[in-house]
């Protein structure tokens, strides 16, 4: 074991018992990949048209194509939503061209897709976990952001940490120390005593960068054809803190 992941350093990190959640998968990827480069993505596109307004009689999706709300789409060179997954979604905002910030809370009840979907599954290039978002009335933007935050801030188990190679463990421990030192308006985001969390697997990439339908990547990760239709890739970008 390398110096970065010596037994003494691991003993100072608290783990939860090795219990599986409904959205868990056996292991994380074997390496921490570099931040992906996105193709040019004008706002309101990415193979999808801007989401039209929903009528009171909007139906739930079945075997039809679904379009993501434009606020959730990936955007080259910027963000449609500024949301650090280490903090509550209520602090997220929409950046404007004038440099101001619009509160996102008024969009929390807006449907995430058109037509509505009761269930959406999210996967990431940086972790092996799946994030399942469910709402019997149709998944909303708020549902997605809160589920991402809740899932990524779960305390990791020792089994999950041991499932990645030593070089990745070293990067996770660096992120753990960095995240426990980060502050927001002078308040620490987290305490060392809370232990390793799934967000530490993201390294410096703690900013939500949007959701996209990467069919090739989804096909490699999801074996079930029926699950692929409800699966999207959530992207993350580096944070400055």
The reported pLDDT for the residue numbered 35 is 29
Q: Is 40 strand, coil or helix?
A: coil
pLDDT, mean of residues 130-146: 97
Helix extents (H) in 89-233: 141-152, 158-162, 166-181, 215-221, 225-228
Per residue in 91-110, pLDDT (tens digit) is: 999 999 888 999 999 999 99
- Range with lowest mean pLDDT among 51-65, 129-143, 172-186: 51-65
Alpha-carbon distances, residue 16 vs 46, 67, 158 (angstroms): 39, 38, 7
More confident residue, 136 or 25: 136
In the numeric block, which tokens belong to residue 210? 């949007």
In the numeric block, which tokens belong to residue 82? 């500024």
Phi-psi region of 155 (alpha: psi -120 to 50; beta: other; left: phi over 0): beta
The reported pLDDT for the residue numbered 66 is 80
The reported pLDDT for the residue numbered 76 is 86
* Percent of the chain clearing pLDDT 90 (strictly above): 64
| Stated pTM of the model | 0.75
pLDDT, mean of residues 154-176: 94
| Residue pointed to by tokens 């509550």 | 88
- Range with lowest mean pLDDT among 44-48, 51-55, 147-151, 214-218: 44-48
Structural contact between residues 15 and 155, judged by C-beta atoms closer than 8 angstroms: yes
Q: b/e for 207-219, b at 16 or more Cβ within 10 A?
A: bbbbbbbbeebbe
Structural contact between residues 148 and 122, judged by C-beta atoms closer than 8 angstroms: yes
Structural contact between residues 235 and 80, judged by C-beta atoms closer than 8 angstroms: no
Question: How is residue 37 annotated by DSSP?
Answer: P
Q: What is the maximal distance between C-alpha atoms in the chain?
A: 60
Per residue in 22-68, pLDDT (tens digit) is: 455 433 332 333 323 322 223 332 222 333 333 333 445 445 578 99
Concatenate the DSSP letters of all residues of 150-166 into one string.
Answer: HHHTSBPBHHHHHTS-H
* Most trustworthy range by pLDDT among 19-23, 36-40, 128-132: 128-132
């Amino acid at each position: 074991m390398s110096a970065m992941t010596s037994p003494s350093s691991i003993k100072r990190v608290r783990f939860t018992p090795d219990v599986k959640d409904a959205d868990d998968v056996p292991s994380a990827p074997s390496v921490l990949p570099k931040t992906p480069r996105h193709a040019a993505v004008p706002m309101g596109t990415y193979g999808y048209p801007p989401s039209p307004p929903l009528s009171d009689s909007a139906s739930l999706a079945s075997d039809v194509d679904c379009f993501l709300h434009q606020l959730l789409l990936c955007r080259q060179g910027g963000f449609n939503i500024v949301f650090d997954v280490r903090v509550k979604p209520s602090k997220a905002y929409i950046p404007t061209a004038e440099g101001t910030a619009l509160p996102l809370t008024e969009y929390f009840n807006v449907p995430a897709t058109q037509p509505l979907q009761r269930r959406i599954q999210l996967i990431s290039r940086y972790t092996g976990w799946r994030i399942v978002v469910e709402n019997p009335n149709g998944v909303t933007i708020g549902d997605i952001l809160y589920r991402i935050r809740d899932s990524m801030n779960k305390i990791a188990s020792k089994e999950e940490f041991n499932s990645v190679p030593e070089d990745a463990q070293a990067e996770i421990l660096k992120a753990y120390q960095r995240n426990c030192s980060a502050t927001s308006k002078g308040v620490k985001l987290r305490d060392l005593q809370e232990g390793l969390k799934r967000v530490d697997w993201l390294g410096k990439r703690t900013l939500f960068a949007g959701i996209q339908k990467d069919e090739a990547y989804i096909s490699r990760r999801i074996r079930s054809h029926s699950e692929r239709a409800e699966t999207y890739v959530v992207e993350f970008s580096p944070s400055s803190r």
